[in-house]
Homo-oligomer: A and B are copies of this chain.
Amino acid sequence: MIQKIVECVPNISEGRNPSVVAACVEAVASAEGVKVLHFTSDYDHNRSVITFAGSPDGVVKAAVRLCKKASELIDLTKHTGEHPRMGAVDVCPFIAVKNVSEEEIIELAKKAGKRMYEEAGVPVYLYEKAASAPHRQNLADVRRGQFEGLPEKTKLPGWQPDFGTGYHETAGITIVGAREFLIAFNIELETDDVEIAKNIAKTIRFSSGGYPCVKALGLMLHETNTAQVSINFTDYKTTSLYTVVDKVREEAEKYGTTVKCTELIGLSPMKALIDCAEHYLKIKDFDYNNQVFENHFL
């Protein structure tokens, strides 16, 4: 009954025309063994995010179909939006969720990238874990120059696409990679002082010397007059939710406030949550794979 599950979260460069978004979502859903879990469009960004998952083969097929459909319907020579973008399918990360190794997920990303060029005619840069060179790991570096810079960028040494040559005239280049599951998680404080949230965010985020694989910002929720620490966990196996929540509780106390509540945005793998149960219940010798009933049926 062992089931391999892969997640894929492509971002497409269309967030204003619902019928184009619908056609792209349908292209994904048309692949067998794949389930669309979520999709969301942003007008200002002119960008949509589709979250889907399924069997390794199904997910690759769905991603290639999406690339083909998006390259037919999206013309980047006419695209404007606040978010940087380089391709009709701009970025397409694959995530190993269950019974899939890091090696397998990298191979999967490469397989999808190769087929995107072969079947949709869209050249591909590989990034993050699938990158072909260290200077091509970081998404911001790969996307620098955006669609408009491609005529120049693709001629620079070290910036040939991994699959194909040059770029697609209207669909640009798709950036394909493998990364960990991203968990978006907010912590609301019992205060309206956004400076406290900003200071706490600085304490916990990696870029300011905090926890690895943690990104954080302090924000103000104006509707409820609440200061919030907004967090991305880019690898919950490296830094767990409870480590950060406990730290934020401790820091909040130093500022004379407390944690009001937290919020999970979108999806979390069950393990990220059960790790927290194990921690707070202080369960000793816990065997996640064997003692969680459902793991025998995934």
Contact = CB atoms under 8 A, between A and B. Distances in A.
A297 to B, nearest CB: 6
Interface string A263-298: 110111110011011101111111000111111111
A128 interface: no
A297 B241 contact: no
Contact of A277 (B5, B260, B276, B282): B276
A218 to B, nearest CB: 19
> How many identical chains are in the complex?
2
Contact of A284 (B263, B270, B292, B295): B263
A262 interface: yes
A1 interface: yes
B292 A37 contact: no
A73 interface: no
Contacts of A285: 263
A98 B294 contact: yes
Interface string A249-268: 00000000001111110111
Contacts of A268: 291-293
Between A242, A260, A263, A277, the greatest number of chain B beta carbons within 10 A of the residue's beta carbon is seen for A277
B267 A293 contact: yes
Interface in A171-196: 181
Contacts of A245: 281
